[in-house]
Amino acid sequence: MANISEKLNEEYNIQVKEELESGYIYLAMSAWFAERTLNNLAAWFHKQAEEEFVHAMKFVNYILDTGGKVEYAELKKPKGDFNNILEILEAAYEHEKYITSRIHHLYEVANELKEYSAFPMLHWFLDEQIEEEEQTAALIDLYKGYVNDFNFDHHIKREE
């Protein structure tokens, strides 16, 4: 008899796919940067992708540890064409907000089912999502700061 309910098992398999797709999305973004020799950004997104695979394995291990059944689903093709850096950063931020909503959903399901054993790992993910959203938002702010600084610099030149 499994210690994970069928319903949570099903939801966790969906989440495994979501996390793997997150990794896939970030790999595509990493490639976009690498193609333009923006190597630090390429590395940053590659590292994000690696973290997503770790996230996926956390759900996989929970399913296995509780006697459930792992089912890997087909992954969606990630978007590979972007117009600019900001578009990528904003897409990454929106994606992390979506993943946070997924974790909230899993928490609600576990709570409704009184599946308290699921809580510690979901708490870890709640903390992790705060970090994921914060660091992506910080990157957007940083980027916008650079754009403004550049405009400011040009403005100063015209004033001379």
- Binding positions for Mg ion, rule: CB under 5 A: 19, 52, 55
Of all residues in this chain, which one has the CB nearest to Mg ion in the complex? Answer: 55
Q: Give 11 or 52: the residue with its C-beta nearer to Mg ion.
A: 52
Q: Measured between alpha carbons, how far is 51 from 19 in angstroms, rounded to an integer?
A: 9
What is d(CA 24, CA 80) in angstroms, rounded to the nearest whole number? 10
What DSSP state is assigned to residue 83?
Answer: S
From the number of C-beta atoms within 10 Å of its C-beta (0-12, 13-18, 19+), residue 121 rates as: middle
Our CB check for Mg ion shows the closer of 18 and 32 to be: 18
Nearest to Mg ion of 54, 142 (CB atom): 54
3: DSSP letter: S
At its nearest, how many Å lie between Mg ion and the CB of residue 152? Answer: 36
Q: Minimum Å distance from CB 126 to Mg ion?
A: 12
Which residue, 26 or 32, is less far from Mg ion as judged by CB? 26
Shortest spacing between CB 109 and Mg ion, in angstroms: 18
Smallest separation, CB 52 to Mg ion (Å)? 5
> Can you tell me whether residue 72 is helix, strand or coil?
coil
Q: Give me the least distance between CB of 37 and Mg ion, in Å please.
A: 27
Phi/psi for 83 (5° steps) reads: -85, -35
Q: Which is nearer to Mg ion, 98 or 146 (CB)?
A: 98
Length of the chain as a residue count = 160
Q: Which two tokens stand for residue 43?
A: 């590395």
Q: Round to whole Å and give the CA distance between 47 and 31.
A: 12
